[in-house]
Structure 1
Amino acid sequence: MAASDIHSLGGLLRTWRERLHPADVGLESVGHRRAKGLRREELALLAGVSVDYVMRLEQGRSVTPSPQVVSALARALQLDRTETELLYRSANQLPPGPGKVSDHIPPGVQRMIARMADLPLAAFAADWTLLSSTPLWCALFATPSATDLPGQNLIVATFVDGTTARVATPHGGAEVFERAMVADLRRSAARLGDDPRFRSLVTTVRAKSPRFAELWDEGRAATHRSLVKTVHHALVGDITLNCDVVTVPDSDVKLVVYTAPTGSADAEKLDFLRVGAVRADIPARADSPAEG
């Protein structure tokens, strides 16, 4: 590879693709691999784009992918903040600055998600847009992955679509969950309130949901932490789980994980879904929420 090509968009994509192993991103290594790193089709799968598009980017036949595609590629390649900024600039795009909702998932968090596939685990942006999830998360909530259906937002699912109430019941009532979500979003508004994406979300949901508007106007701000929920599943019935929320240090990313006590009937139901997730026997419903 020529020195000048190393710093081109295509050269960077090839370099970063070749340094990852399928196991690093939660994929199985299938068949004989003549080249090191991820295959183009694996990167395409992870980023939610076509193989042909990845090829055109690497060959320099396409040099200005959209910010959404750049963000998806950065996540798929597990780039850190510096590398992500370089990718944006190589694609002739401005990287997200301070005060903007970021879809960047730190590489360490991406490795956690890839290696903790035995848990229902998902990562959300500060505005509660789903960024990534494990197969068991998708099986538990019968919902597509963020790659299959990008833009899933838990605030919209809760207050506009009303799908979260049909999927899970928080102990203490729906009001507990609703207040936790709005208070967490209010907390993020202190840093992100001027971001057009964030403002658009709040304005849209306020206009469509009197309940959201009521809670938003209360002005309560707090970190969303832990709840107990009963998930209503078509195959295993009701399953009661602990839901814990952790904000990643030096990041706006929120990790949400569901667990059941060891040896409990709920743990057995989760094990059943785990097997189904591995075998991909449980179809996803496009109208299901990204539960949190």
Structure 2
Amino acid sequence: MSRPENSLGNTLRAWRARITTEDVGLPATRRRRTAGLRREELASLAGISTDYLLRLEQGRALRPSRDVVASLARALRLSTNETCHFHLVAGLLPPTPQNIPHQLPPGVQRLVSRWGNIPVGVFSASWTLLTWTSMWAALLGDPSLRPPEERNLVRAVFKKPSDAGHPLFLMEQSTTEFKAALVADLRITHGAYPHDEEFRVLMGEAMSESEEFRALWSTPALGSRLGGHKRLQHPLVGEISLDNDVLKVPDHDVRIVTYTAEPGTTDEEKLEYLRIAAARTAPPAPPLSLSPTPPTPLRD
């Protein structure tokens, strides 16, 4: 019986048992006493000796190198979260993702396509708007009227827009509380993606152009809450009071931002008016492709 503290060995055996020869392109054999890959098969795929894999599984080797862990993770077809967990049980810091993902996971795409009557926008971890509903455009300004590089909330909040004709993120720029919460979230992104060059450029722009951003960034505050109850001043319906929620999808690191009104209120009536106006005049949001999301590469 394995020792209860042998987390590394127990984890390795469990993952080896769930992988089939077909999963890794090996020829299937008829008689196998145990489920999953044999120890020698996994060792061969990972480029290590069978004896060393046995010692890892038995808890006699507790500190594999980062290269060994990375090779075993690839051979075991581990997900990003599983790879991070594998590093932790091996006594190593998890690898950091190379770049911020900008792809929409299929599940989020399907949700957005079914939320046409709600102002919904989906952002990357750098707060670049990836897709939106027509109600989002009706409430906060039409992103399709801006070039892609201006569909970023950081630039919209801390830089002057190139023109005032088509405001973007119209209602998101007013309060110091919102700006502080946004910068706090950006600080988390900075820690999670230290090698993302586009994000470095974005932060450099904000630092050089906004004294307010520099002041907020220099205050090491975490945990400020995005969202909450918002009073918005809209050019068509006047003041409208809405609940603003920010939902994070951790595996893909995107933020789903929604605005909803309390049922039976004049605010709900105003949203309905905007929905009718949007259906008549607004261009459609960008099409949602249901192509699979490629994995985000990790960097040790």
Q: Normalised by the size of structure 1, how large is the TM-score?
A: 0.58
SS of 1:250's partner is coil
SS of corresponding position for 1:103: coil
2:208 partner SS: helix
Question: Is it true that 1:215 corresponds to 2:216 in the alignment?
Answer: yes
Is the alpha carbon distance of 1:165 and 1:106 closer, same or farther for their aligned partners in structure 2, counting shifts above 3 Å?
closer
Partner residue, 1:167 = 170
> What does the per-residue CA deviation read over 1:11-45, in whole Å, with 9 as the maximum and x for residues that have no partner?
xxxxxxxxxxxxxxxxxxxxxxxxxxxxxxxxxxx
Q: Which residue of 2 aligns with 1:200?
A: 201
Which one-letter code corresponds to 1:255 in the other structure?
I
Matched ranges for 1:33-112 at <5 A: 98-112=97-111
**SS of equivalent residue, structure 2 residue 148:** coil
What residue in structure 1 maps to residue 259 of structure 2?
A: 258
Give 1:281 deviation, angstroms. 5.4
Query: 8 Å contact 1:159–1:209 — kept in the other structure?
Result: yes
Residues of 2 paired with 1:252 and 1:223: CA distance? 18
Residue 159 of structure 1, CA deviation: 1.1
Q: Which residue of 2 aligns with 1:157?
A: 156
Aligned 8 A contact 1:159 1:205 in 2:
yes
| Contact preservation (8 Å) 1:165, 1:174 | no
CA RMSD of aligned residues (A): 2.9
Structure 2 equivalent of residue 130 of structure 1: 129
Superposition TM-score, scaled by structure 2 size: 0.57
Q: Which residue of 1 aligns with 2:177?
A: 176
Report the alpha carbon displacement of residue 226 of structure 1 after superposing the two structures with TM: 2.4
Query: Kindly tell me: are residues 205 and 166 of structure 1, through their superposed partners in 2, closer, same or farther at Cα, counting changes over 3 Å?
Result: same
Closer/same/farther in 2, CA of residues 214 and 221 from structure 1, 3 Å limit: same
The code of the aligned residue for 1:111 comes to: R
Query: What residue is the counterpart of 2:31 in the other structure?
Result: none
Offset of residue 249 of structure 1: 3.0
- Asked whether the 8 Å contact 2:153–2:169 carries over to 1, the reply is no
Q: Is the 8 A contact 1:120 1:134 kept in 2?
A: yes
Identity score, percent: 38
Counterpart Cα distance in 1 of 2:249 and 2:109: 12
Residues 283 and 109 from structure 1, CA distance in 2 versus in 1: closer, same or farther, beyond 3 angstroms? closer
Higher helix share: 1
1:224 Cα offset (Å): 4.2
Task: State whether residues 121 and 137 of structure 1, in contact with CA within 8 Å, keep that contact through their aligned partners in structure 2.
Answer: yes
Please say if residues 143 and 168 of structure 2, whose CA atoms lie closer than 8 Å, have aligned partners that are also in contact: no
Aligned to 2:89: none
Q: Counterparts of 1:196 and 1:267 in 2: how far apart (Å)?
A: 42
Following superposition, the deviation at residue 165 of structure 1 comes to 10
Please tell me whether Structure 1 or Structure 2 has the larger radius of gyration of its CA atoms: 2
> Is the partner of 1:218 in helix, strand or coil?
coil
| SS class of match (1:245) | strand
Cα deviation, 1:105-135, whole Å, max 9, x if unaligned, reads: 1001001111110100010010000000000
Rate the CA distance shift 1:223–1:101 in 2: closer, same or farther, 3 A.
Answer: farther
* Equivalent position of 1:143 in the other structure: 142
Q: Is the contact made by 1:205 and 1:212 (CA closer than 8 Å) also made in structure 2? A: yes
Cα displacement (A) at 1:179: 0.5
The residue type equivalent to 2:252 in the other structure is S
Residue type of the alignment partner of 1:168:
M
Note if contact 1:166-1:232 (Cα within 8 Å) is conserved in structure 2. no
Paired amino acid for 1:112? L
Contact 2:180 2:224 in 1 (8 A): no
Structure 1 unaligned residues grouped into runs of 5+: 1-80, 82-96, 285-292
Q: 1:115 to 1:169 in 2, by over 3 A?
A: closer
Q: Does 1:117 align with 2:120?
A: no
Deviations 1:204-239, CA, capped at 9 Å, x for gaps = 110000100111111223364422222221111111
1:188 alignment partner AA: T
Contact 2:142 2:168 in 1 (8 A): no
Structure 2 unaligned spans of 5+:
1-78, 80-95, 286-300
Question: How many residues were matched structurally?
Answer: 187
SS in structure 1 at match of 2:97: coil
